[in-house]
Amino acid sequence: MAQLIVLGVADRDTAEEALDIAASLNRQELLRLQDGAYAYKDAKGRPRIHQTVNTTGRGALGGALWGTLIGLIFLNPILGMAVGAASGAVAGKLTDIGIDDDMIKQIGAQLDDGRAAVFLLTDINAADRVVEAFRPLDPKVLRTNLSKDDERELVEALRA
């Protein structure tokens, strides 16, 4: 089962670095990253969200492919591609997979100015090596779906 871990970090750059670390650990198969995102407040104090999975782009690409195929049947592949891409993009925009967007927005709105939160939905294979990779970022655990004991162990491991 995937674990949701939300880490508070110093700023947006640190949040991007955390996602880079998670992607690297994913390539090393130390964890299996299913979804990732970060939230921060911009200069005007508005919460901003950056997600690693772009469902709008994927939907548009898939829609364009299917639209072209259907357009070939009706002898108008360009129109089919345009209609398919538009409908695919709308479907992708409305699709919510992985981490709950409302939770990301809620936590993003609660951040202090300059701070950021990193959201990781992952299966961890080598917890000690994963914690070791994130420790230099000095993250604080904001929220998890781990058991209380596992969450306490994670907090203590990141502090060590």
pLDDT of 52-68, one tens digit each? 755 445 555 666 555 66
Closest by Cα among 26, 2, 9, 1 to 107 = 9
Answer yes or no: pTM beyond 0.75.
Answer: no
pLDDT of 73-90, one tens digit each? 666 666 666 666 666 655
Q: Give the model's pLDDT for residue 146.
A: 87
pLDDT of 30-52, one tens digit each? 999 888 999 998 888 888 888 87
- Beta-carbon count within 10 A of 44 CB: 6
Residue 107 has pLDDT above 80, yes or no: yes
| Cβ atoms of residues 67 and 87 within 8 Å | yes
Give me the chain's average pLDDT, please: 81
Residue 158's H or E segment, with its range, is helix 148-159
